[in-house]
Amino acid sequence: MSRIKKAATLIASGVLLLFVFMYDVVRLTVELGDAGFLFLRELLVVAVMVGAFLLMREYARKGIGAAIKETGRLLIVVVASLVVAAGMGMLPGIGFSEGTSMPQNSVTAFFSLVVSMVVGTASIQTILTIKELVYHKRKRGTRRNFLTYVVLLLATAGFSLPVFANDLAILGTTTFILAVLMIVVNSFRQNWIVFLSRREKIYCIIYSALLFGAFLALSLVLSNRTFLQKAILFFSVPLERFVLLNSMYGAVYFGMAFITTLFHLPTAEAYERKQSELSSLHNLGRLVTQVFDFNDLVRTVTHMTREVSGARSAWLELIRQDPNGTRADIVSANNIDEGEIRIVMEGTEFSPRQFVMESKKALMIDDVGADRRTRHLKGRGLPVGSLLSVPLVSHGSLIGILNATKEISYGFDQDDSDVLTTLADHVTIAIENARLIEQSLERERLKQELMVAREMQKRLLPDRFPANPAMDVSAHSEPSLEVGGDYFDFVHLDEETVGIVVGDVSGKGVSAAFYMAEVKGIFQSLSKMTRSPRELLIRANQTLRENLERKAFISAVYAVFELGTGRVVLARAGHCPMVLVSRESNRLIRPNGLGLGLTDGELFEQSTEETVLTLKEGDVCLFYTDGITEARNGEGREFGYDRLVELATEVKDLPAVEIQNRILSEIGAYCGRSGPEDDLTLVVVKWLGKRPKDSKAHQGDHHE
């Protein structure tokens, strides 16, 4: 109902009541024989009561939590109406004439009206409240029985209308008796009490006792020649029936409620606990979903610990191993601060934490102040009367301790210990899961980082190869892990000269990749300073000797091609020999030379030589890393130099890129399913022997 409708109903009821009152005043002084008017007046009264019903229905509360509040409200309304009735009866100058039972004066008539309305509305509230309570946990027949009562109630009231005089008295009595019967039947519907909390049940006992008394009093008052009875009978006979029946209903119903609650009280606590255990077990599901946020998870854990055990405070400690030994971190505390926890858990003579850590068993101290082990805590002003500490054990090792305290001693019983142990098991799983997720996220992150590193490293290698009429070049490099230590590069020394370098950092993976990047920098800068491969390697050795860790070294081969003449100057620093396939013969070009970073300058200089070759049209040069020659098949046999040379001879007439692809696919096939174990690099140079046009070496778009 909208506010306007409510106001309209209220005003309409008021106006109707005013009519009734005016009629009554007239009735007192003048004898009105017309039954029609009287009937009309009763109709007005009915309309007013209906209006009151509609209004009050709006304020009825529903649901489980509302039951006890509704009952409390009813008590207030009923007691208030009784007080009003009693108070008015005692007012001076009010009375009814002995014979006719009519008010002596219009003041009495007015008060009759008021008191009837008050008691009438209280009665409506009674029926509304009882309906809410009866309808709680409905069963088949609940509604039918209640409605039967309401129908009988209205019938009883209807049959007592003055218009029927006494003609229907028998019917009225019959329905009255049937209504009383239904009252008894309906009074067994006390299901709502079961669902009350212990606290609410105590209220319920008080309320229902008082309501029983109040309704009994009302029923008695209405059954005797009292002011109230006379007043209502004058105001409206049906209303008297209505109020009387409802009062009887109230008395019987709340009498029953009182007894029922009394019986339920001893089990209230157990019921309540089961209820909260049930809801907490339901909440265990929440633990699983919160594994993504560790802080949320531990907060929920301590909250739930309090919930299931009814503890005053709870906290969770997680065990951590660090260089100083095993430590316990307080990761979540509920209603207790860390200082207090330390006082409780870290006694000098007895530490509950130490006890649980060593025994991996639950610890329950019933009376902290009296227990031999924790007596020292007495008088410290801590709200800790009893303590329960439960270990979190995963795969036989302790990962944490779940603690709960109550202010009272003997606060925890075996049930609490069992429930917390069950909770601890779930918490253990949730925490382990949270950690696993964290780890896998970390692994995923590292994987991403490595993929970034792989991309970065790819960019360190040239994606454009020298393209000029004199040489046809193709190159490929593939790390065995995400990143590797292989390196190749091309340097354009001038229009007529191209340098090619292939290097291999010892080891694999990230460390090799860092050195590989360093090597690129060194080669790029040194190639601009010297044109002699030997000179370049000597200088590179100097730099690397200072920067490499001792067990790391780099092998490299550096060849400078003169495009105009086909002259190649080559130096080797411990690297695989260059394969030269020409029309007449195949050779491994292997000038002496030490790996970079192995020794100091002098020895390196002494042992490193330079070789000079002259290429002819159709010659093929292969630069590669040991990933090619040391590629192993399923039996552990290496691919080897012979096979490489043989294969190169076979395919020497193909273009460089095809030679490269053939060699790589042969190696792939040779390794079989397991694939290459080492980083693998191959640079193929096919000498075309044509002089560059316009004496200009330009970079083409020849991609890998």
Partner 1 sequence: MSEFKVNHRDGEGFSVLELKGYLDAHTAPDLETTFQKLLTDKKFNIIVNCKDLTYISSAGLGVFMAYIEDVRKNRGDIKLTNMSPKVYNVFDLLGFPVLYEIYKDEQEAATKFRQQLKKG
| Binding interface with partner 1 (CB under 8 A) | 504, 506-508, 550-553, 555, 573-577, 590, 592-595, 598-599, 603, 607, 626, 630, 636, 638, 678
Residue with smaller CB distance to partner 1, 247 or 555: 555
**571 contact partners, CB below 8 Å, separation of at least 6:** 532, 533, 534, 536, 537, 557, 558, 591, 593, 608, 609, 610, 611
488: β partners: 502
Smallest separation (angstroms) from partner 1 to the CB of 590: 8
Cβ partners under 8 Å of residue 266, min gap 6 = none
Instruction: Provide the minimum distance between the beta carbon of 321 and partner 1 in the complex, in angstroms, as a whole number.
Output: 24
When the beta carbons of 531 and 587 are compared against partner 1, the nearer one is 587
3-state secondary structure (DSSP) of residue 491: strand
Q: CA-to-CA distance for 145 and 393, rounded, in angstroms?
A: 57
Nearer to partner 1, 7 or 588 (CB): 588
- R_g over Cα of the chain: 50
User: Token digits for 250?
Assistant: 């109230």
CB of 611 to partner 1, least distance (A): 15
Decide whether 219 or 681 has the Cβ nearer to partner 1: 681
Q: How far is the CB of 550 from partner 1 (least distance, A)?
A: 5
Q: Which two tokens stand for residue 685?
A: 């140079």
Tell me, rounded to whole angstroms, the distance of Cα 80 from its chain centroid.
Answer: 50
User: Residue 349 — φ and ψ, nearest 5°?
Assistant: -90, -40
Q: 87: closest CA among 52, 114, 50?
A: 114
CB of 478 to partner 1, least distance (A): 17
Burial of 322 (0-12, 13-18, 19+ CB in 10 A): exposed
Nearer CB in complex with partner 1: 416/504: 504
Closer residue to partner 1 in complex, CB, 594/683: 594
**CB nearer partner 1, residue 249 or residue 639:** 639
**CA-CA distance, 24 to 104, in Å (whole number)?**
12
With respect to partner 1, which residue has the nearer C-beta, 540 or 598?
Answer: 598
Least distance from C-beta 305 to partner 1, angstroms?
A: 47
Q: Rounded distance, CA 440 to CA 47, Å? A: 74
Report the nearest approach of partner 1 to the CB of residue 673 (Å): 15
Distance of CA 5 to the CA centre of its chain: 46
Phi, psi of 285 (to 5 degrees): -55, -35
Tokens found for residue 19: 């009519």
> What does the alpha-carbon distance between residue 665 and residue 99 come to, in Å, rounded to a whole number?
127
Shortest gap between Cβ of 511 and partner 1 (angstroms)? 10
State the minimum distance, in angstroms, from the CB of residue 648 to partner 1: 19
Beta strands in 536-590 (DSSP E): 554-562, 567-573, 578-581, 586-589
Residue 317 or residue 486: which is nearer to partner 1 going by CB? 486
Query: Closer to partner 1 at the Cβ: 58 or 677?
Result: 677
- State the minimum distance, in angstroms, from the CB of residue 508 to partner 1: 6
Strand partners, 503: 487, 556
Helix (H, G, I), strand (E, B) or coil at 85: helix
Distances (CA, A) of 392 to 317, 319, 337: 9, 9, 21
